[in-house]
Amino acid sequence: MSTHAQKIIILDFGSQTTQLIARRIREQKVYSEIHPYTLPLAELRAMQPTGIILSGSPASVHDEDAPFSDAGIYELGVPVLGICYGAQLMTVQLGGQVERADKQEFGKARLTVEYTGGLFAGLEIAPARFQVWMSHSDRIKEPAPGFAVTATSPDSPCAALRHLEKPFVAIQFHPEVVHTLIGTDVLRNFIFGLCGCRPEWTMQSFIEDTVAEIRARVGDDQVICALSGGVDSSVVAALVHRAIGDQLTCIYVDTGLMRTGESASVLRFFREKTSLQVIDVNGTEFFLSSLEGIADPEEKRKRIGYGFIEIFEAEARKLANVRYLAQGTLYPDVIESVSFRGKAPIKSHHNVGGLPERMQLDLIEPLRELFKDEVRELGLELGLPEEAIYRQPFPGPGLGIRIMGPVTAQRLDILRRADAIVLEEMKDSGWYRKVWQSFAVLLPIQTVGVMGDSRTYEHVIALRAVDSRDAMTADWSQLPYELLGRISNRIINEVRGVNRVVYDISSKPPATIEWE
């Protein structure tokens, strides 16, 4: 379906760093997409990949249910790079042997390169030693027929391999992580050297390709776009509008879980500053009644996700010929929501894992492969104003997943007031744009305090502020004490029902950014 002229397809076997491979490649201006290793061969062929990468995996090729991709990929006439598990898989599929290593390698290792062409072209001086990053307990014992060893490490005699006639290469180390100092060179040698890609993928070409793709797919049908006022959906709306103009209608839902003044300001912005057609739906009662008494985070997420779709489908029926729903789904939304081979998903993002199984509308999700910083770049390229681009992310389930325990109108009111203070102080102090997100969370407990010489027994607000590049990992922000003090002071004084404020100093992992 994709029309990107040249592309590297990454087959994902469940490695934690798969997404980094894609972004390292896109940083080299070559388009790259990740697909599950189960992608049928016919679909892979139809995508006309310029190169294929097999990712790492927590699995071993010797596991009873080891994830194996179709061995037909080696018949496509396309270069293939195996990374870690991918290298072991390629070895086994093509007739070599993999064994459990005596010594595992985790972390830094010295790589001795014995061949200066292929993946190691341009690295000069052979044999040369380089720092790479390893994470494995199996190793390649016997290369598959036709392969030669191109590098070794103290514990991996076959740390890199190349096929002598075909464009197949395999490496035991991870070129996608920053600790592999030659990682970028190795990936560049694969995509430019072996695959013959040209560095032509830019945000401008992404826009052109995506616009053409949407136009071809939609034809004369109508599209609705779920528009929240956030960065992702604003960019999607702008892209789809560029493709099909008036065939697009945007729908903003006030879930009743929005922040103070949010709905009014979002609607004002789109109606006054853009030529998008925006319908607004008040779903407050609908969502609050469906959440009544619900405390389980996944249950809340699912109910909100289904609620959104119910509303979109009802609105679609009121308009004629609507076949598609466009959404601002990004890669991190997808990765957390899907389960890898039976493991429970981390959490169901309302727009992915929280979708009902049977949907009447087909999805248009042009940002599904991208990360937030890439989307921001895209938004600037599309001419969206900075105030829309540099907004902090706000999750679709909104304050619903920042109130621990059941959501009630009274708790929403407390959280809204606290959140407004956080936002105001972050903006006034110039910290709003320095952090990834900053917000208040309402805890389901009460604590004892003393106000005006009287005992109080009231709610606790937790502050959360994190630094992140793509929401996949995050660290708590080192906000100045003075700012924290001011926020705490104002919340306790101004928000009735709160007598204590705490600051969350957990990173992701092991915590997540949102509390539910």
Ligand X SMILES: O=c1[nH]c(=O)c2[nH+]cn([C@@H]3O[C@H](COP(=O)(O)O)[C@@H](O)[C@H]3O)c2[nH]1
Ligand Y SMILES: NC(=O)CC[C@H](N)C(=O)O
Scan residues 255-274 and list those touching ligand ATP (CB under 6 A).
255
SS (H, E, C) 115-177: CCCHHHCCCCCCCEEEEEEEEEEEEEEECCCCEEEEEEECCEEEEEEEECCCCEEEECCCCCC
x-marked contacts with ligand X along 463-492 as a string, rule CB under 6 A: --------x---------------------
Among 11, 214, 224, 231, binds ligand ATP (CB under 6 A): 231
Residue 394 within binding range of Mg ion, rule CB under 5 A = yes
Phi, psi of 152 (to 5 degrees): -135, 160
Q: Which does 513 bind (CB under 5 to 8 A by kind): ligand Y, ligand X, ligand ATP, none?
A: ligand X
Quick one: which of 345, 355, 431, 344 has its CA closest to 396?
Answer: 355
Consult the annotation and say whether 229 binds a ligand: yes
Residue 269 exposed, middle or buried by CB count within 10 Å (0-12, 13-18, 19+): middle
Consult the annotation and say whether 232 binds a ligand: yes
Residue among 174, 241, 350, 459 flagged as catalytic? 174
CA gyration radius for the chain? 25
CA distances for 495 relative to 34, 51, 416, angstroms: 46, 57, 9
Q: Amino acid identity, residue 496?
A: R
User: What is the per-residue DSSP string for 52-63?
Assistant: EEE---SS-TTS
Scan residues 9-38 and list those touching ligand ATP (CB under 6 A).
none
Taking the complex as a whole, the smallest distance from the CB of residue 477 to ligand X amounts, in Å, to 13
Q: Near ligand X by CB under 6 A, which window of 3-11, 254-262, 457-465, 507-515?
A: 507-515
Residue 350 within binding range of ligand X, rule CB under 6 A = yes
Conformation bin of residue 66: beta by default, left when phi > 0, alpha when psi is -120 to 50? beta
Q: Which does 477 bind (CB under 5 to 8 A by kind): Mg ion, ligand ATP, ligand Y, none?
A: none
Q: Which does 252 bind (CB under 5 to 8 A by kind): ligand Y, ligand ATP, Mg ion, none?
A: ligand ATP
The rounded distance, in Å, linking the Cα atoms of 389 and 185 is: 32
Residue 252 within binding range of ligand ATP, rule CB under 6 A = yes
Scan residues 287-326 and list those touching ligand X (CB under 6 A).
301
Helix (H) or strand (E) holding 271: helix 262-273
Q: Near ligand ATP by CB under 6 A, which window of 125-133, 182-190, 223-231, 508-516?
A: 223-231
Q: Is 174 a catalytic residue?
A: yes
Q: Which does 259 bind (CB under 5 to 8 A by kind): ligand Y, Mg ion, ligand ATP, none?
A: none
> Chain-centre distance of CA 121, in angstroms?
32
Taking the complex as a whole, the smallest distance from the CB of residue 340 to Mg ion amounts, in Å, to 25
Scan residues 358-377 and list those touching ligand ATP (CB under 6 A).
none
Consult the annotation and say whether 228 binds a ligand: yes
Q: Which does 471 bind (CB under 5 to 8 A by kind): ligand X, ligand Y, Mg ion, none?
A: ligand X
Instruction: Give the binding-site size for Mg ion (rule: CB under 5 A).
Output: 3
Contact between residue 365 and residue 333 where contact means Cβ atoms under 8 Å apart = no
Residue 230 within binding range of ligand ATP, rule CB under 6 A = yes
Q: Near Mg ion by CB under 5 A, which window of 86-94, 123-131, 165-173, 226-234?
A: 226-234
Residue 106 exposed, middle or buried by CB count within 10 Å (0-12, 13-18, 19+): exposed
Quick one: which of 242, 238, 215, 203 has its CA closest to 31?
Answer: 203
What's the first-to-final CA gap in the chain, in angstroms?
Answer: 35
Taking the complex as a whole, the smallest distance from the CB of residue 391 to ligand ATP amounts, in Å, to 6
User: What is the per-residue DSSP string for 351-367?
Assistant: TTTTS-SS-SSEEE-TT
Task: Count Cβ neighbours within 10 Å for each residue of 435-456 and write b for 16 or more, e otherwise.
Answer: bbbbbbbbbeeeeeeeeeeeeb
Among 79, 143, 167, 230, binds Mg ion (CB under 5 A): 230
By C-beta, is 55 or 477 nearer to ligand Y? Answer: 55
Residue among 105, 176, 262, 425 flagged as catalytic? 176
Phi, psi of 20 (to 5 degrees): -70, -30
CA distances for 125 relative to 116, 117, 180, 192, angstroms: 8, 11, 18, 21
Among 253, 355, 418, 423, binds ligand ATP (CB under 6 A): 253
Output the known binding site.
Answer: 228-234
* Chain residues that interact with ligand X, rule: CB under 6 A: 301, 336, 347, 349-351, 393, 395-397, 437, 471, 508, 512-514
- The footprint of Mg ion (CB under 5 A) covers 228, 230, 394
Active site residues: 84, 174, 176
Known binding site for ATP: residues?
A: 228-234
